[in-house]
Amino acid sequence: MNFLLTTLVNQIIANLFEDAPGIQTLGNILIGNAGNNQLQGGDQDDLIFAGPGDDTVAAGAGNDLIFAGSGNDIVVGQTGSDVALLGSGDDRFIWNNGDGSDFINGGAGFDITEVNGANGAGDEFDLAAVDGQAIFNRLNLGQFTLTNEKIEKFDINGLGGDDALTVGDLTDSAVQKVIFSGGGGNDTLDATASSTEIEAFGGDGDDLLLGGSAVDTFDAGAGDDTVVGQRGNDIADLGSGRDRFIWNNGDGSDVIHGGRGFDVTQVNGADGAGDEFDLAAVDGQAIFNRLNLGLFTLTNERIEQFEINGQGGDDSLTVGDLTGSGVRKVLFSGGEGNDTLDATASSTTVVAFGGDGDDLLLGGSAVDRFKGGAGNDIVVGQRGNDIARLESGDDRFIWNNGDGSDFIHGGRGFDVTQVNGADGAGDEFDLAAVDGQAIFNRLNLGLFTLTNQRIEQFEINGQGGDDSFT
């Protein structure tokens, strides 16, 4: 009788589900009633009918066949290669470390496959659609495969260890959302190839979280984490630690909360096309925009530093007033091209790298640092005691009345320091060599000193008033 029933069951399975494993040695036949049942299978290949109701099934050892029936059921396959037909309702299938390779059909309703990896050992998982099924694999430790049909959501828990999950294209499957929780350890999520919604929890450790093209949500947790939202309008809570959020050309408009620690937003613009960026504080948030090409906005809270890379092209960045935003420093790297930085309205420290090309770099009222790079550059330090390294090319440093005491290194090429004095009041200037440096002073009005190295020419404009120059 058991042989005939086993054969019949396997034929039914094969006809309905091409890739589902069959049972070999029929053990228990468990049949639930119409209530909320708790059913436990044995060591053989069990046949379990949970019936209607919100049931909990633990299939036990062996290659089991579970019919969950109607209701919101929980099925734990346990060891062996099981077939779980979850039926109607919002059901959950749970795989725990040490379980076998299973086949899951969600049926009607919103159904979840939950995976709990090895605690303390790093799991290497991947998930992608193959012929309409969502195929989940572990590629290391004890390898296994979960074949999923009509599953709308995955909950993947790495637990302890350095866990990794790669999410591929799930378009051809029923999966609508993937949740990844790395737990303790330095975890990696790579959903670059995915257009399915991702929700990622890095947990403790230095995590790398790469989203996809959907609207993704990140909670990086403790540790020095890196989050790359990628395409889609994402939300990132970086948590505690020294964290970094990276925006690459083509990504969406994102919201970033730095949390505790020193956090950085990094922007990598278009390579070869000139970006037009601006950055300013609005209602305590640091708002970063691109005003041309593909427009986007990054809304930043509790971000201490911006690193803005123009890449190729004639890039421009305007830095406005960042008071109250929490931003302490802005780094601008123009890359190739004739780039422009205008931080005139800013009191936040600016560090600027002009790169190749004829660049115009205007500082603000903080202590700013400039590297002109190759090309014929113009640097205006403005207020604050600035440091300018003009580097190669025929460069010009401009001091205007009201600016601070600056240090200028001309580098290679024919370089000029230009001084524009007070308009209407008489300036008293002097210039002399001290220890191989050209020292320029104003001895009245607002006193200042320019310390010059490798500067070939001075241009001194008294403007109005009775000026003197020694």
- SS3 of 128-144: EEECCEEEEEECCCCCE
Cα 335 from Cα 371, distance rounded (Å): 12
Same domain, 162 and 93: no
> Per DSSP, what are the bridge partners of residue 448?
442
Same domain, 194 and 50: no
Same domain, 127 and 24: no
* Assigned token pair, 152: 């709308």
Q: Tally Cβ neighbours within 10 Å of residue 157.
A: 20
pLDDT tens string 358-376: 999 999 999 999 999 999 9
**E strand segments, 70-143:** 74-76, 83-85, 92-96, 102-105, 112-116, 124-130, 133-138
Same domain, 304 and 162: yes
Question: What's the pTM?
Answer: 0.92
Same domain, 121 and 73: no
Q: Give domain status of residue 62, yes or no.
A: yes
Cα 441 from Cα 452, distance rounded (Å): 11
The residue assigned the tokens 């034929």 is: 11
- Which of 77, 104, 131 marks a domain boundary? 104
pLDDT tens string 303-361: 999 999 999 899 999 999 999 999 999 999 999 999 999 999 999 999 999 999 999 99
Predicted confidence (pLDDT) at residue 159 exceeds the cutoff of 60: yes
Cα 89 from Cα 206, distance rounded (Å): 38
Same domain, 79 and 130: no
Q: Give domain status of residue 116, yes or no.
A: yes
Q: State the pLDDT at residue 343.
A: 98
Radius of gyration of the chain measured on its C-alpha atoms: 32
Same domain, 63 and 114: no
- Which of 63, 85, 104 marks a domain boundary? 104
Q: Give domain status of residue 437, yes or no.
A: no
Q: Give domain status of residue 324, yes or no.
A: yes
Phi and psi at 8, nearest 5°, equal -65, -45
| Cβ neighbours of residue 343 closer than 8 Å, sequence gap 6 or more | 318, 319, 330, 350, 362, 363, 364, 368, 382
Region of 132 (left: φ > 0; alpha: ψ -120 to 50; beta: rest) is: left
Residue type at 95? W
Contact by Cβ (8 Å): 355, 392? no
Cα 134 from Cα 423, distance rounded (Å): 74
pLDDT tens string 169-226: 999 999 999 999 999 999 999 999 999 999 999 999 999 999 999 999 999 999 999 9
Same domain, 180 and 95: no
Q: Give domain status of residue 354, yes or no.
A: yes
Cα 255 from Cα 252, distance rounded (Å): 10
Residue 139's pLDDT band, with cuts at 50, 70 and 90, is: very high
Residue 1's pLDDT band, with cuts at 50, 70 and 90, is: very low
Residue type at 336? E
Nearest C-alpha neighbor of 390 from the set 380, 405, 404: 380
The residue assigned the tokens 């060891």 is: 79
Share of the chain above pLDDT 70, in %: 94
Distances (CA, A) of 346 to 17, 18, 29, 341, 343: 65, 65, 75, 11, 5
Same domain, 93 and 150: no
pLDDT tens string 99-126: 999 999 999 999 999 999 999 889 999 9
Cα 335 from Cα 240, distance rounded (Å): 32
Same domain, 145 and 72: no
DSSP reduced 3-state for 375:
coil
Contact by Cβ (8 Å): 334, 310? yes
* Mean pLDDT score of the chain: 94
Same domain, 333 and 389: yes
Same domain, 50 and 123: no
Q: Label residue 145 exposed, middle or buried (CB < 10 Å: 0-12, 13-18, 19+).
A: middle
Q: State the pLDDT at residue 25.
A: 54
- Which of 71, 104, 137 marks a domain boundary? 104
Cα 275 from Cα 313, distance rounded (Å): 7
Contact by Cβ (8 Å): 165, 180? yes
pLDDT tens string 266-309: 999 999 889 999 999 999 999 999 999 999 999 999 999 999 99
Predicted confidence (pLDDT) at residue 2 exceeds the cutoff of 70: no
Q: Give domain status of residue 447, yes or no.
A: no
Q: State the pLDDT at residue 357.
A: 97
Q: State the pLDDT at residue 252.
A: 97
Q: Give domain status of residue 194, yes or no.
A: yes
Cα 1 from Cα 7, distance rounded (Å): 10
pLDDT tens string 14-40: 555 455 555 545 678 999 888 899 999
Q: Give domain status of residue 441, yes or no.
A: no
The string of DSSP codes covering 169-192 is --TTSS--EEEEE--SS--EEE-T
Residue 4's pLDDT band, with cuts at 50, 70 and 90, is: very low
DSSP reduced 3-state for 394:
coil
Phi and psi at 135, nearest 5°, equal -105, 120
What mean pLDDT comes out for the span 430-434?
A: 97
Cα 330 from Cα 317, distance rounded (Å): 11
Predicted confidence (pLDDT) at residue 8 exceeds the cutoff of 70: no
Instruction: Provide the number of structural domains found in the chain.
Output: 2
Q: Which domain holds residue 22?
A: 1-104
DSSP label at residue 104: E
Name the least confident of 21-35, 91-105, 128-142, 454-468: 21-35
Torsion, Cα 448 453 457 460, to 10 degrees, reads 0
